[in-house]
A = this chain, B = another copy of it.
Amino acid sequence: MSNRFIEKLRKLAELGEPELRALERVTAHPKTIRSRKDLIREGDPPGPVLVVLEGWAFRYKVLPSGTRQIMAFLMPGDACDLHANMLAEMDHSIQTVTEASIATINRADMNEMMTSYPRIACAMYVAQLIDEGTLRAWIVSLGRRSSVERVAHLILELFLRAVRIELSDGTTMELPLPQAVLADALGMTPVHINRILQELRRSGAIELSRGVLRIKDPAALTHISGFDANYLHKRLK
């Protein structure tokens, strides 16, 4: 009874039978959460570790002015808040996009697993490092890329992540993000996102409708975005 979380970790470290069993035990009872539901809210004390087994979610923060900024997307297999128990409270919220299957691992189990199985710990550190690299890549996008570049870059990021976790056949993927969500991730307005998407469609680089993305011209998209796969292509030394 594997799942997307286990599959992801298996790509980041060699895991044997006992490790796999431990991971299965600890993710055996996921809950189904409906779409657009906060899993964690800013200011909450840290609870259990959450793992997204199926569906999409995002980390976000809302400003005094009421605008929202999304700081990361969580796709199937992604976990949040590995070490957050060391801090007093959450500094941001997490919300589902789609209906999602979420496993919760309580702190004690998590700590025990991390100390008993160093390989699991290692895989999770690597996952966290990749996430951190992604945060930095977002900073670069928001700071120094034009809006077309930004949109193209995000699409490529999500697409490559989907390929890696086998959610994509290499050309097509489900992208269940409304334009308003893309806007809040990219620091733009929905109106402008809309125009940029049209531009990308017109240019022949992508197709996107009804939540299905199709990369028609990967080279063009890469070129437009100035994408440097480096930050996602981390592997074990």
Give me the interface of A with B, judged by CB distance under 8 Å: 42-43, 45-46, 59, 61, 63-65, 67-69, 71, 83-89, 91-92, 122, 125-126, 128-129, 132-133, 135-140, 142-145, 184-187, 226, 228, 230-231, 234-237
What copy number does this chain have within its complex?
2
Contacts of A138 in B (CB 8 A): 139
**Which residue on chain B has the smallest CB distance to residue A232?**
B91
Are the CB atoms of A136 and B91 closer together than 8 Å? yes
Q: Identify A143's interface contact among B85, B136, B187, CB under 8 A.
A: B187
Interface CB pairs A-B, < 8 A, 30: A46-B237, A59-B136, A61-B136, A63-B140, A63-B145, A63-B226, A64-B226, A67-B144, A69-B139, A69-B140, A69-B143, A71-B136, A71-B140, A83-B126, A83-B129, A84-B129, A86-B122, A86-B129, A88-B234, A88-B237, A91-B228, A91-B230, A91-B234, A132-B135, A135-B135, A135-B136, A139-B139, A142-B143, A142-B187, A143-B184
- Given the interface pairs A59-B136, A65-B226, A71-B136, the reply to whether A237 lies near B86 with Cβ below 8 Å is yes
